Chain A
């Protein structure tokens, strides 16, 4: 699904007031009933990440973090079964999963006296039952499952969705009898940069020759597209020539203009959504 930049900006502006919760996603969906939920969620996720990057420094101050921790301690004393941490995160406008990490980190410092290792921290976030304090474990768990942008659960879902789309892509290519090498094959062959698919025999898509395909199970906005270009797409172009990127959840239609680059014309629209209209749900709501 392609959106004009203006449309995208309007949605982005509207999402500014939303929190990364199930309820808010429902509101977003009702506000834009013509757009698919996964597109809306992907857009929200991109915008929420930008928002977090902007505001994170505000929370990542020792004093502030200490205040959050003390508040958590005092409130759980009063209401041990209430979702204290989730409420606190919503109150201070921080992602619940990130709030959970801050509190857990502080908690472990108290327990062991030293800096907790990242591995331990991550494994506890993934599996709260490892935390000895059951009240904290419950709170962390509530935060994780109620965050649709951050946290191990979301990471896992994103990874799975990405995999699923790669499989989908491979199936489609095989359906059409196209000869290709996938990322794993490329890696074993020692390629230094590996797109999801390299076509052994190039094909033309809407008149543009493509040598490779990259699958992105997300929405393509300016920021992420630019990042992908610099970190991936140009590297692919430098090695294999023009290619195609599939943004499964749509992209800003002005993106596919690489005209100012003066490149191979087939490179001009390499980075678009090609005839893939399947709406993928990101199962978070």
Chain B
């Protein structure tokens, strides 16, 4: 395919032909073109192209994390490759190409099927696992050894080395992956997807001979744009690519260009070209871009480069800004209350235990469990704090005392209830709510606190762009429960967990196939993706997860190409699915076979209008905004432009006086506190009674209202001016409703 690209660049192949070929939906279709007598498979071309673009733009991209050229290679080496890329062809192209080839990751490849010897070779890249950087940058030779081995120094000599003399090539010149994200010490098997095959240090002058002097004209750039855009549907993660485009848009060159570099092969390696490319892509992908949130759109519209390269795009962005309904979700814990699992005499008192001997130890367990939880809360953010070192002994000691099965089940129930209680709420990720917050929360209410928090964050946190694919995590208290379980308290627990593994706790396959059948994937897939992203590295090897992952993969591939062809809501649905799945496959490496493509029917027909889409998109949008804002802060500083928009929160709240508000909040809290310590059935009963009494009250008041209307002789007016009386009636109904709300509040106190 290097040859294809070359041919396109050399105008030996018609661009339209390539584009048509990429657009076509037939499976495994190969493109044959005369000149070098090649046949190329589509799946190979896309990764190659994406890698190529990143390679070419690496010099200009100094902003933000490198976006990975994470594009999968098909598992089976296509025959076309075998015949196509002959040594002379390879030599004929930029030497970087095979190198990038080798860096293509294999999330579709079963681990066993990698043809493995790469790490045994002297020059082979070693697995990057656990090194603090992404597995995505693991260098893997695709497929079977019978085919080309890209790590083979003979076949793919290092850049700049003489391709013929294999003996002289030094393994040390192979490019090793560079760790990019270093601050993720915990989740080794999971990888933050911010690493990339882009290695600036390793980029030799790209003046690879064959294409030198071609001089990239706008025409050629267009080729890339077209290819890029039309293959958009084939990229693994649309947001990742969009992020890449934004990076291009805001790129700056670190070093001064000398003439030599200007002359080199560069599709996108000068800032001008980068921006041109980015703007063209944004124009072309406007439908997608228009669904970004308001702030991102504003930043894009105000971007001086967009304005100067395409005033039309600027206008369209400005218009889209007004239409945009997407909102960036700010992750903020609104619940600062830790509620313990209430003691319920019905299930927890002495009569539920066989003997005092069984009853009393559990009493202690509960206290130790909460003690551990409190200690974790207080200390886990301290540097150097280690769960196992601090709490391991305590937990193991506690669990070892749980001898009888009855005790186990009681403790397990407590553990589970506490887990659900703490983790079901809004996700608490990076923001911890300290005690000051809780004070403020009481004073201002959660909304205002959220705004204050964001303001604080803007003012004190360094601007850090982490990339559009955040790693999966166990946010907030989930971390405590995970670590607790991982403490491997006792042999029994370990054995039990092994036994559990062989059983399917949650039948993901059934859930998934059921949702596909009922055409509700849009509801199921997002949470399933979150669930699967938390699998440890053994999980995907189990049959049930393998099957589920395979199905998701098929879903992903069958949904992908439909992005542009559906009406608005359907489009958003698909975008959501493609995004979450893209994220999943990006951040996790699953050894799932990339099976044959399923028929490209739409699997999601249900219309789903919700903030979910925007929540997801917002994770990316936040990163887009950071990138764009960082650019503005650099370029607009001279003109004194506003860098960040900050809306101050006034201490005085609109409308209700503070005292009143806190009083209301207290009432709500009291009600919650009451129900918290009662069996759930009580709440249901109260709600039922309140509803009944409320509706009867409304009925009753309606009667009174009607009789009042009659007695006041308003009947006449009713005959005359229909509308005004209707309004009166409605007003009375509102009053009645208010009364009913009061009634229900009273009922709660009757209990």
Q: Which of A2-10, A96-104, A234-242 contacts B (4 or more CB under 8 A)?
A: A234-242
Residues in B neighbouring A190, C-beta threshold 8 A: 345, 349-351
- Bound-state CA distance A207–B663 (Å) is 9
Q: Which residue of A lies closest to B339 (CB)?
A: A241
Residues in B neighbouring A211, C-beta threshold 8 A: 673, 677
Evaluate contact between B666 and A265: CB separation under 8 angstroms: no
Evaluate contact between A259 and B435: CB separation under 8 angstroms: yes
Nearest-Cβ distance from residue B349 to partner chain A, whole angstroms: 3
Q: Is B331 an interface residue (CB 8 A)?
A: no
Residues 323 to 362 of chain B near chain A (Cβ within 8 Å): 336-340, 342-343, 345, 348-351, 359-360, 362
Evaluate contact between A262 and B349: CB separation under 8 angstroms: no
Evaluate contact between B350 and A238: CB separation under 8 angstroms: no
Nearest-Cβ distance from residue A197 to partner chain B, whole angstroms: 14
Evaluate contact between A239 and B342: CB separation under 8 angstroms: yes
- B367 contacts which of A201, A203, A234 (Cβ < 8 Å)? A234
Q: Is B378 an interface residue (CB 8 A)?
A: yes
- B340 contacts which of A189, A204, A241, A265 (Cβ < 8 Å)? A241
Q: Which residue of B lies closest to A204 (CB)?
A: B666
- Bound-state CA distance A54–B508 (Å) is 64
Q: Which residue of B lies closest to A198 (CB)?
A: B677
Evaluate contact between B343 and A261: CB separation under 8 angstroms: no
Evaluate contact between A239 and B343: CB separation under 8 angstroms: yes
Q: Which residue of B lies closest to A179 (CB)?
A: B751
Q: Is A154 an interface residue (CB 8 A)?
A: no
Residues in A neighbouring B369, C-beta threshold 8 A: 238
Given contacts A192-B349, A235-B367, contact A240 B677 (CB under 8 A): yes
Evaluate contact between B749 and A238: CB separation under 8 angstroms: no
Q: Which residue of A lies closest to B340 (CB)?
A: A238
Nearest-Cβ distance from residue B394 to partner chain A, whole angstroms: 14
Nearest-Cβ distance from residue A210 to partner chain B, whole angstroms: 9
Residues in B neighbouring A225, C-beta threshold 8 A: none
Evaluate contact between A241 and B367: CB separation under 8 angstroms: no
Evaluate contact between B378 and A260: CB separation under 8 angstroms: yes
Evaluate contact between B673 and A262: CB separation under 8 angstroms: no
Evaluate contact between B340 and A207: CB separation under 8 angstroms: no
- B677 contacts which of A191, A193, A241 (Cβ < 8 Å)? A241
Residues in A neighbouring B673, C-beta threshold 8 A: 202, 209, 211, 241
Nearest-Cβ distance from residue B435 to partner chain A, whole angstroms: 5
Q: Is A61 an interface residue (CB 8 A)?
A: no
Residues in A neighbouring B442, C-beta threshold 8 A: 207, 265
Residues in A neighbouring B111, C-beta threshold 8 A: none
- Bound-state CA distance A234–B375 (Å) is 13
Q: Is B670 an interface residue (CB 8 A)?
A: yes
Residues in A neighbouring B670, C-beta threshold 8 A: 202-204, 209
- Bound-state CA distance A263–B377 (Å) is 9
Residues in B neighbouring A155, C-beta threshold 8 A: none
Q: Is A66 an interface residue (CB 8 A)?
A: no
- Bound-state CA distance A31–B649 (Å) is 53
Mask: chain A, 243-272; 1 = CB below 8 Å from B; 0 = not: 000000000000000011111111010000
- Bound-state CA distance A189–B346 (Å) is 9
Residues in A neighbouring B438, C-beta threshold 8 A: 265
Q: Is B527 an interface residue (CB 8 A)?
A: no
- Bound-state CA distance A250–B429 (Å) is 41
Given contacts A191-B343, A211-B673, A239-B342, contact A261 B666 (CB under 8 A): no
Residues in B neighbouring A209, C-beta threshold 8 A: 666, 669-670, 673
- Bound-state CA distance A202–B337 (Å) is 15
Q: Which residue of B lies closest to A190 (CB)?
A: B349
Evaluate contact between B435 and A207: CB separation under 8 angstroms: no
Residues in A neighbouring B669, C-beta threshold 8 A: 204, 209, 266
Residues 184 to 234 of chain A near chain B (Cβ within 8 Å): 189-193, 201-204, 207, 209, 211, 234
Nearest-Cβ distance from residue A69 to partner chain B, whole angstroms: 41
- Bound-state CA distance A202–B667 (Å) is 11
Nearest-Cβ distance from residue A232 to partner chain B, whole angstroms: 10
- A202 contacts which of B363, B674, B751 (Cβ < 8 Å)? B674
Nearest-Cβ distance from residue A267 to partner chain B, whole angstroms: 9
Residues in A neighbouring B378, C-beta threshold 8 A: 260-262
Evaluate contact between B363 and A192: CB separation under 8 angstroms: yes
Q: Is B366 an interface residue (CB 8 A)?
A: yes
Given contacts A239-B343, A262-B435, A265-B439, contact A207 B338 (CB under 8 A): no
Nearest-Cβ distance from residue A43 to partner chain B, whole angstroms: 30
Nearest-Cβ distance from residue A190 to partner chain B, whole angstroms: 3
Evaluate contact between B374 and A261: CB separation under 8 angstroms: yes
Q: Is B371 an interface residue (CB 8 A)?
A: yes
Nearest-Cβ distance from residue A70 to partner chain B, whole angstroms: 46
Nearest-Cβ distance from residue B541 to partner chain A, whole angstroms: 39
Residues in B neighbouring A264, C-beta threshold 8 A: 336-339
Residues in A neighbouring B662, C-beta threshold 8 A: 207
- Bound-state CA distance A241–B339 (Å) is 6
Residues in A neighbouring B674, C-beta threshold 8 A: 201-202
Residues 84 to 104 of chain A near chain B (Cβ within 8 Å): none
Evaluate contact between A262 and B370: CB separation under 8 angstroms: no
Nearest-Cβ distance from residue B741 to partner chain A, whole angstroms: 20
Q: Is B260 an interface residue (CB 8 A)?
A: no
Evaluate contact between A262 and B345: CB separation under 8 angstroms: no
Q: Is B35 an interface residue (CB 8 A)?
A: no
Given contacts A201-B749, A239-B342, contact A234 B370 (CB under 8 A): yes
Q: Is B463 an interface residue (CB 8 A)?
A: no
Q: Which residue of A lies closest to B344 (CB)?
A: A239
Nearest-Cβ distance from residue A68 to partner chain B, whole angstroms: 41
- Bound-state CA distance A260–B374 (Å) is 11
Q: Is B567 an interface residue (CB 8 A)?
A: no
Evaluate contact between A238 and B367: CB separation under 8 angstroms: yes
Q: Which residue of B lies closest to A235 (CB)?
A: B367
Residues in B neighbouring A265, C-beta threshold 8 A: 336-337, 435, 438-439, 442
Q: Which residue of A lies closest to B362 (CB)?
A: A192
Residues in B neighbouring A266, C-beta threshold 8 A: 669
Residues in A neighbouring B751, C-beta threshold 8 A: 201
- Bound-state CA distance A125–B567 (Å) is 93
- Specify which of A192, A235, A261, A264 lies most central, judged by the most chain B CB atoms within 10 Å of its CB: A192
Evaluate contact between B370 and A238: CB separation under 8 angstroms: yes
Q: Which residue of B lies closest to A265 (CB)?
A: B438
Evaluate contact between B749 and A193: CB separation under 8 angstroms: no
25 contacts between A and B (CB under 8 A): A190-B349, A190-B351, A191-B343, A192-B343, A192-B348, A192-B349, A201-B674, A201-B751, A202-B674, A204-B669, A207-B666, A209-B669, A211-B673, A238-B370, A239-B342, A241-B673, A241-B676, A261-B378, A262-B435, A263-B338, A263-B374, A265-B435, A265-B442, A266-B669, A268-B435
Known A-B contacts: A191-B345, A234-B370, A235-B367. Give 7 more (CB < 8 A): A203-B670, A211-B677, A235-B366, A241-B676, A261-B377, A263-B338, A265-B435
Pairs A-B, 9 closest by C-beta atoms: A190-B349, A239-B343, A190-B350, A238-B370, A192-B363, A202-B673, A265-B438, A209-B673, A264-B337
